[in-house]
């Protein structure tokens, strides 16, 4: 559980007015609390504070998710405390935000993820987990051309408890959608993987998944799909599993442990470059480690140079030895077989009281690597924008629009 704290944002260059939003309301979700305002940073040379583009949403926020479509536009979905989803769209540099849709979910929304599918059946999918039935997972299918009405889709609804989920889409013109969802209140066979072969209209019979907490999914290239999760048996291992057949049943390789044992781990994230040969795909997985000796948190990663067939634990990116680092997010530039791959995370320290003796000093960090030098990360660049929220549902997001110069991402985040 995270403490309930007050949230504020200093800059307000671009704002969408909201009726009835209460920035002082406190949330009852298992993450963070009130007045969250996601803003956006345009990552440029040097990451100056002048790159901040401003507020997008102001109010009590539960969760948000983001993606980019094949035209390079950035999409953002925000779930507020009033069980309402708002969907926004911006240009590829994260400017010019326009509110497109509002949807009454009917129940508290706890997690949000956004995907974009390409081709003649191009669509934007907003997946959201509600509190109904201890976790119903649904989706909205939106038309990027704004000519068709939004369509609500059922993904995993009913009596089974769902507390977390991850989604991915491949890049074929007739793309599939993939979803891994879990009940993090227990171990054993507590999760399931499912696919949609008809653009979200229906979903296959779920494939059982074992001991899965903090699920993560990523499409690699060709027919490769990767899954990563925290092993529920101990909470001290990150496991990865790969399918070379679009995630179909009985196509998954044996799962591999990519992290050393002995220390608590959380928040896995995974990405692979878009390579023509699946067997030579360069992939990375990153996660947070809570050090048992000095109680610091750090980000570690492992890499694969054969499309997930084998993984090597590399350790932590160099630099910042005296800062806590957590909430990593990985993303790969689409259509670029040699990269870059972008790693974002939160760094600093979190205050433990309401006085100035231990102030909350957190900031965003951004680093990059390539297939040519997969173990070398660029020096950390960052922006001291204030205390950054990083709980479930509100951790920062990196989005790389297709065609972005040098694969530069848009970094979306929330301030406490």
CATH code: domain of residue 298: 2.120.10.10
Q: Are residues 158 and 168 in the same domain?
A: no
Give the pLDDT confidence score for residue 293 in this predicted structure: 67
Q: Are residues 228 and 185 in the same domain?
A: yes
Range of the domain at 103: 1-162+395-416
Q: Are residues 120 and 266 in the same domain?
A: no
Q: Residue 172 and residue 399: Cα distance in Å, rounded?
A: 19
Tokens of 339: 């990269």
Which region among 25-34, 139-148, 278-287 has the lowest average model confidence (pLDDT)? 25-34
Q: Residue 359: which of 387, 322, 382, 320 has the closest Cα?
A: 387
Q: How far is CA 43 from CA 253, 320, 344, 395, in A?
A: 37, 20, 11, 17
Is the pLDDT at 332 greater than 70? The verdict is: yes
Is the pLDDT at 3 greater than 80? The verdict is: no
Q: Residue 350: which of 381, 384, 390, 316 has the closest Cα?
A: 390
Most confident of 45-59, 183-197, 375-389: 183-197
Q: Are residues 141 and 260 in the same domain?
A: no
Q: Are residues 174 and 156 in the same domain?
A: no
Please tell me which residue, 33 or 366, carries the higher pLDDT value: 366
Number of domains in the chain: 2
Q: Is 234 left (phi over 0), alpha (psi -120 to 50) or beta?
A: alpha
Give the pLDDT confidence score for residue 30 in this predicted structure: 20
For 148-293, strand residue ranges (E) read 151-156, 164-169, 177-182, 191-196, 207-209, 212-219, 225-231, 238-243, 256-257, 265-272, 283-290
Q: Are residues 103 and 154 in the same domain?
A: yes
Q: Are residues 129 and 156 in the same domain?
A: yes
Average pLDDT of 389-416?
A: 84
Is the pLDDT at 398 greater than 80? The verdict is: yes
Give the pLDDT confidence score for residue 280 in this predicted structure: 86
Is the pLDDT at 158 greater than 80? The verdict is: yes
Give the pLDDT confidence score for residue 1 in this predicted structure: 33
What average pLDDT does the structure give for the chain? 82
Which region among 253-257, 308-312, 361-365 has the lowest average model confidence (pLDDT)? 361-365
Burial class (CB in 10 A: 0-12, 13-18, 19+), 302: buried
Give the list of residues 6+ apart from residue 388 with CB closer than 8 angstroms, or none: 346, 362, 363, 364, 396, 413, 414, 415, 416
Burial class (CB in 10 A: 0-12, 13-18, 19+), 173: exposed
Which region among 88-92, 112-116, 412-416 has the lowest average model confidence (pLDDT)? 412-416
Most confident of 59-63, 284-288, 318-322: 284-288
Q: Are residues 229 and 306 in the same domain?
A: yes
Q: Are residues 180 and 116 in the same domain?
A: no
Q: What percent of the chain has pLDDT over 90?
A: 51
Q: Are residues 361 and 377 in the same domain?
A: yes
pTM, 2 dp: 0.86
* Cβ count within 10 A of residue 48: 10
Q: Are residues 296 and 408 in the same domain?
A: no
Which region among 194-203, 362-371, 402-411 has the lowest average model confidence (pLDDT)? 402-411
Give the pLDDT confidence score for residue 392 in this predicted structure: 86
- Please identify which residue in the block is written with the tokens 């507590």: 190
Q: What percent of the chain has pLDDT over 70?
A: 83
Is the pLDDT at 300 greater than 80? The verdict is: yes
State pLDDT tens for residues 235-285: 999 999 999 999 999 999 988 999 987 899 999 999 999 887 888 889 999
Please tell me which residue, 106 or 40, carries the higher pLDDT value: 106
Give the pLDDT confidence score for residue 9 in this predicted structure: 24
Give the pLDDT confidence score for residue 22 in this predicted structure: 30
Give the pLDDT confidence score for residue 19 in this predicted structure: 30
State pLDDT tens for residues 178-200: 999 999 999 999 999 999 999 99
Strand, helix or coil at 193? strand
Q: Are residues 141 and 174 in the same domain?
A: no
């Amino acid at each position: 559980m995270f403490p309930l704290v007050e949230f504020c944002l200093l800059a307000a260059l671009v704002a969408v007015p909201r009726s009835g939003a209460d920035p002082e309301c406190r949330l009852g979700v298992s993450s963070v609390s009130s007045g969250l305002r996601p803003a956006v940073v345009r990552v440029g040379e040097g990451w100056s504070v002048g790159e901040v583009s401003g507020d997008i949403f102001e109010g009590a926020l539960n969760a948000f998710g983001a993606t980019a479509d094949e035209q390079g536009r950035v999409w953002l979905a925000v779930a507020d405390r009033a069980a309402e989803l708002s969907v926004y769209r911006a240009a590829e540099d994260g400017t010019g935000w326009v509110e497109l849709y509002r949807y009454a979910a009917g129940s508290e929304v706890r997690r949000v993820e956004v995907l974009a599918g390409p081709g003649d059946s191009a669509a934007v999918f907003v997946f959201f987990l509600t509190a109904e039935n201890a976790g119903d997972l649904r989706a909205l299918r939106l038309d990027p051309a704004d000519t068709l009405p939004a369509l609500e889709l059922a993904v995993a609804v009913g009596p089974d408890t769902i507390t977390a989920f991850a989604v991915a889409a491949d890049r074929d013109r007739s793309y599939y959608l993939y979803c891994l969802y879990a009940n993090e209140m227990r171990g054993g066979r507590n999760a399931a993987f499912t696919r949609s072969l008809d653009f979200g209209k229906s979903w296959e019979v779920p494939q059982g998944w074992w001991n899965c907490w903090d699920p993560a999914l990523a499409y690699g290239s060709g027919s490769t799909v990767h899954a990563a999760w925290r092993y529920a048996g101990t909470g001290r291992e990150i496991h990865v599993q790969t399918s070379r057949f679009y995630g179909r049943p009985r196509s998954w390789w044996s799962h591999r442990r990519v992290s050393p044992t002995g220390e608590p781990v959380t928040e896995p994230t995974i990405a692979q470059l878009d390579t023509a040969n699946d067997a030579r795909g360069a992939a990375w997985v990153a996660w947070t480690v809570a050090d048992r000796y000095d109680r610091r948190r750090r980000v570690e990663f492992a890499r694969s140079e054969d499309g997930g067939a084998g993984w090597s634990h590399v350790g932590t990116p160099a630099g910042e030895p005296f800062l806590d680092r957590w909430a990593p997010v990985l993303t790969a530039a689409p259509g670029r077989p040699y990269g870059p791959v972008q790693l974002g995370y939160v760094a600093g320290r979190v205050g433990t009281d309401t006085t100035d003796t231990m102030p909350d000093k957190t900031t965003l960090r951004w680093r990059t690597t390539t297939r040519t030098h997969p173990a070398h990360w660029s020096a950390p660049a960052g922006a001291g924008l204030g205390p950054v929220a990083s709980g479930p549902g509100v951790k920062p997001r990196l989005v790389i629009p297709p065609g972005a110069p040098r694969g530069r991402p848009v970094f979306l985040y929330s301030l406490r």
